[in-house]
Amino acid sequence: MGSSAFPAGRALAIPLLACLAVVAAACSSGGGAGHPTVTVTRTVPPSPGASSRPAPGTSSPPAPPAGPAECATADLRLSVGTSQGAAGTIYTNIDFTNESSSACFVEGYPGVSLVSAGSDAGSQIGADAKRDPVTPVRAVTLAPGQTAHAVLGVAEAGNFPASKCNPVTAHWLKVFPPDQFTAAYLRFTTQTCASTSEPTMRITAISAGA
């Protein structure tokens, strides 16, 4: 009996070794170098609502064309227009005509004063014209040859006490177009107060037309 136990254990070992060999062969066959690698490409359809157009470029839009420049004194011919009186005040148009070859604009109040001479040598007489807000401030574009105007109101010197007014006669207006530092001189004769404590003049903002 002791001699028959060895052959039986040996007989069981042979099938077990055979099974291990089969498993090893199966495992080695899965990653062998002889099997090619297959690549699968999948096309993903666009999502609903997605745009097929290319992305917009990053270039900036062209700048809008520049508008006309503000009228310089050299671009304008200033003149005294029509006058009319009411309630002790004389109202006179001061006209601004574009004499340049291109359009320009005027906006706001001119600076106006009475002076003793029609040049920079003249001295100011009385107070300068105060701003009258009766006319809205708007930019007025003037094509070549077009005219805009402001209204100058001059109160009669007789409206004020002579002792405070010190009435005198002036013959020149000194006018600065809006935002300009060069003046124009206009013939204009009126009585006014030499005293600056009694302002006699008011000026409106420039508006379109003569």
Among the four given CATH numbers 3.40.50, 2.60.40, 1.10.20, 1.25.40, the one describing domain 70-208: 2.60.40
Exposed (0-12), middle (13-18) or buried (19+): which is 80, by Cβ within 10 Å? middle
- CA dist., res. 186 & res. 184, Å (int): 7
Place of tokens 């009385």: 126
The reported pLDDT for the residue numbered 210 is: 83
Per-residue confidence in pLDDT tens, the chain, 210 aa = 444 444 444 444 444 444 444 444 444 445 444 555 555 555 555 555 555 554 555 566 666 567 899 999 999 999 999 999 888 999 999 999 999 999 999 999 999 999 999 999 999 999 999 999 999 999 999 999 999 999 999 999 999 999 999 999 999 999 999 999 999 999 999 999 999 998 899 999 999 998
- CA dist., res. 194 & res. 196, Å (int): 6
Domain ranges of the chain: 70-208
Place of tokens 């993903």: 44
